């Protein structure tokens, strides 16, 4: 065979390989494989067999709910002809304005109203915040996303942060100038879990027909977030830039985790029915689904800022918005859940599904697909969660959690002094994990004409730069907003330089 012919064949093979690669790439860009969606998507097949044809029996009205054949002819002589009239807890879309509305009518109505719901929320956000994103040119999250810089809260004309920091609580409340009132769910009546668009783009099954996510992506954590394991610290981020799911968990972790931990991870990426995502008529997803996974909300053991309503408060209008918190460093926490003060990861794991998954309502859970977890799989899930570590903090002393003076900048060192002194931060956030395992009430009703939130647990500040937005409901979009919030609430009277230094320190945690 001549060299000229060999070159021609080789060129042809390269061209053919390039075509296959281009096709595969195009298909990959078109749709990422989702095993959960694949399991729920029926394929259209030709009706060629007799048993596939619809019969008169199939089309008859005997399947219509209000026309069943009675058990006995005598039933018609009983009260109400033996029927249950009015509200049917099993079939009716619970919390509907009108009992026994058809699911398709509810979906049509709420789909049509979605634009107005989000327009109203956008107007509220733009009134409260400057949403023109400013990012720090050098400060990044663990995988490189730039940090948004604030403060973003809008102040009334003529008001400054210094003046606000000097004002008394009574004055702030009387004038209605507190810049960080509670942030409501965009659709309080329905409530429920809402996922950001960047996550829905990858997993369309998480989209709702009645409400969308409201905060701009720049103020959210990375997607996908980094994942660190305390049993293999030398590996650093083990996510490898992937969202951990049922599709890839085994491939990524079969050689890193023990069999028990791997089984716990399997359960954490397995979908279970949830209030808004399930196959029942009153779901809020367009198509029926298997539900959501623990790691849909706690993506890679972290968060992407998804929110729902606190399941522990009634009536509905008193329930507050609750951001999904990170599971990083959960092994070091002695209490779990924002309001419940649960005392073990196992209790949190088991109780979370009965509350956050179903808004604390077992009637809903039984109807939609209650999943009773035995304590053994719960312990597997807990052990996996206990592997999730904080991101590295190279400027902190490993033993004490304090800044290493040889590595800190002057601003960071000043910020640490403020943190442990004038700023009063360490009263609740003590090193090395920067939390105190306690519940606290800030009594925000002193500053705003709202009833306040009651006691909420202290959340860790380790890795805090990776976890915007801040506070339990995300009302503080940046670390700068958080500093301004506490400067007002704790009446610290920090000056501009002290605030800047405090943020510089917290970025190193």
pLDDT (tens digit per residue) in 182-217: 999 999 988 899 999 999 999 999 999 999 999 999
Cα dihedral across residues 84, 87, 90, 91: positive or negative: positive
Q: Helical H runs in 129-224?
A: 161-166, 169-175, 197-202
Strands 146-148 and 135-140: antiparallel
Q: What is the pLDDT of residues 421-471, one digit of tens each?
A: 999 999 999 999 999 999 899 999 999 988 888 888 899 999 999 999 999
CB atoms within 10 A of CB 77: 9
How far is Cα 194 from Cα 297, in angstroms, rounded to an integer?
A: 9
Closest by CA position to 457, among listed 326, 336, 355 = 336
Q: Evaluate whether 481 touches 470 at the Cβ level (below 8 Å).
A: yes
Whether residue 432 has a cis bond before it, omega within 30° of 0: yes
Mean pLDDT of 351-377: 78
**The total number of residues written for the chain in this structure:** 509
Kindly tell me if the per-residue pLDDT of 356 is higher than 80.
no
Side-chain-side CA neighbours of 253 within 13 Å: the count stands at 31
pLDDT band at 6; cut points 50, 70, 90? very low
Give the number of other CB atoms < 10 A from CB of residue 446: 14
Lowest mean pLDDT among 60-64, 220-224, 397-401, 474-478: 60-64
| Residue 392 · residue 238 · CB < 8 Å | no
- Give the 3-state secondary structure of residue 137: strand
- Which pLDDT does position 154 carry in this prediction? 97
Identify the weakest region by mean pLDDT among 306-320, 332-346, 389-403.
332-346
pLDDT band at 309, cuts 50/70/90? confident
pLDDT over 60 (residue 54): yes
- Residue 242 in tokens: 């992937």
Whether 12 has a pLDDT exceeding 70, the answer reads no
Average pLDDT over residues 232-254: 94
Mean pLDDT of 497-501: 98
* Tokens (6 digits) for 115: 């634009």
What was the pLDDT predicted at 99?
57
Of 261, 476, 264, 290, residue with least CA distance to 371: 290
Give me Rg for the CA atoms of the chain: 27
Helical packing angle, 479-489 and 496-506, nearest 10° = 130
- For 44-61, the DSSP string reads P----SGGGS--HHHHSG
* Distance of alpha carbon 161 from alpha carbon 487, whole angstroms: 9
Is 112:195 a contact under the CB 8 Å cutoff? no
Number of other CB atoms surrounding residue 45 within 10 Å: 8
- Binned at pLDDT 50, 70 and 90, residue 71 comes out as low
List, for residues 126-156, the tens digit of each pLDDT value.
999 999 999 999 999 999 999 999 999 999 9
Q: Which residues of 2-27 are buried (b: 16+ CB within 10 A; e: fewer)?
A: eeeeeeeeeeeeeeeeeeeeeeeeee
Helix (H) or strand (E) segment spanning residue 138: strand 135-140
CA distance 289 to 279: 5
pLDDT > 90? residue 15: no
What is the band of 348 on the pLDDT scale with cuts at 50, 70, 90? Answer: confident
Tell me the average pLDDT across 363-373. Answer: 80
**Run of H or E residues at 97:** none
pLDDT value at position 106?
87
Q: What is the pLDDT of residue 228?
A: 97
Give residue 3's pLDDT band: very low, low, confident or very high (50, 70, 90): very low
User: What is the pLDDT confidence band of residue 4, given thresholds at 50, 70 and 90?
Assistant: very low
Other residues' Cβ atoms within 10 Å of the Cβ of residue 306: 21
pLDDT of 16 > 60? The answer is no
CA dist 509 and 415 (Å) reads: 12
**Which single residue is written with the structure tokens 């209030």?**
275
Mean per-residue pLDDT for 366-383? Answer: 86
Domain ranges of the chain: 184-386
pLDDT: which is higher, 284 or 373? 284
* DSSP code at position 266: H
pLDDT at 491: 96
User: How far is the C-alpha of 289 from the C-alpha of 280, rounded, in Å?
Assistant: 9
| Helix, strand, coil tally for the chain in percent (to 5) | 40, 5, 55
The pLDDT of residue 359? 78
Entry pTM: 0.86
- 341 torsion bin: left (phi>0), alpha (psi -120 to 50), beta (else): left
Q: Which has more confidence, 468 or 50?
A: 468
User: Helix or strand or coil: residue 470?
Assistant: strand
* C-alpha dist (Å) from residue 303 to 221, 298, 366, 469, 509: 7, 5, 28, 11, 18
């Amino acid at each position: 065979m001549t060299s000229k012919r060999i070159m021609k064949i080789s060129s042809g093979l390269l061209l053919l390989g390039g075509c296959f690669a281009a096709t595969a790439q195009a298909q990959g860009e078109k749709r990422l494989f989702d095993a959960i969606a694949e399991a729920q998507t029926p394929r259209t097949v030709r009706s060629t067999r007799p048993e596939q044809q619809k019969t008169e029996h199939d089309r008859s009205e005997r399947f219509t709910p209000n026309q069943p054949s009675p058990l006995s002819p005598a039933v018609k002589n009983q009260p109400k002809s033996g029927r249950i009239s009015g509200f049917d807890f099993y079939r009716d879309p619970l919390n509907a304005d009108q009992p026994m509305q058809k699911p398709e009518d509810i979906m049509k109505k709420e789909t049509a109203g979605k634009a107005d719901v989000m327009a109203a929320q956008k107007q509220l956000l733009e009134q409260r915040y400057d949403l023109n994103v400013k990012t720090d040119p050098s400060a990044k999250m663990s995988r490189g996303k730039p940090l948004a810089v604030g403060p973003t809260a809008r102040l009334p004309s003529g008001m400054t942060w210094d003046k606000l920091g000097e004002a008394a609580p009574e004055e702030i409340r009387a004038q209605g100038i507190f810049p960080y009132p509670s942030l409501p769910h965009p659709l309080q009546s329905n409530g429920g879990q809402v996922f950001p668009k960047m996550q829905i783009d990858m997993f369309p099954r998480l989209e709702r027909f009645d409400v969308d996510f409201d905060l701009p992506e720049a103020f959210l954590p990375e997607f996908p977030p980094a994942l660190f394991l305390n049993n293999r610290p030398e590996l650093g981020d083990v996510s490898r830039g992937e969202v951990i799911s049922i599709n890839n968990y085994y491939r990524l972790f079969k050689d890193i985790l023990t069999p028990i931990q791997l089984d716990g991870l399997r359960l954490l990426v397995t979908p279970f029915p949830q209030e808004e995502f399930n196959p029942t008529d009153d779901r809020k997803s367009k198509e029926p689904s298997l539900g959501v996974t623990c790691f849909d909300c706690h993506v890679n053991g972290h968060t992407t800022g998804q929110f729902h309503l606190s399941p522990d408060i009634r009536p509905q209008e008193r329930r507050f918005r609750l951001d999904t918190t990170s599971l990083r460093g959960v092994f070091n926490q002695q209490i779990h859940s924002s309001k419940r003060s649960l005392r073990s990861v196992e209790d949190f794991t088991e109780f979370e599904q009965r509350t956050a998954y179903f808004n604390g309502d077992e009637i809903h859970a039984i109807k939609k697909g209650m999943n009773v977890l035995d304590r053994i799989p719960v312990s597997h899930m807990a052990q996996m969660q206990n592997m999730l570590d904080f991101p590295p903090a190279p400027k902190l002393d490993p033993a004490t959690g304090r800044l290493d003076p040889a590595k800190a900048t002057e601003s960071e060192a000043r910020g640490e002094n403020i943190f442990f002194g004038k700023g009063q931060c360490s009263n609740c956030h003590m090193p090395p994990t920067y939390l105190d395992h306690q519940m606290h009430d800030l009594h925000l009703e002193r500053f705003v004409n709202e009833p306040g939130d009651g006691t909420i647990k202290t959340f860790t500040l380790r890795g805090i730069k990776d976890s915007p937005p801040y506070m339990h409901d995300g009302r503080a979009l940046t670390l700068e907003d958080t500093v301004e919030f506490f400067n007002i609430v704790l009446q610290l009277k920090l000056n501009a330089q002290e605030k800047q230094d405090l943020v510089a320190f917290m970025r190193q945690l």
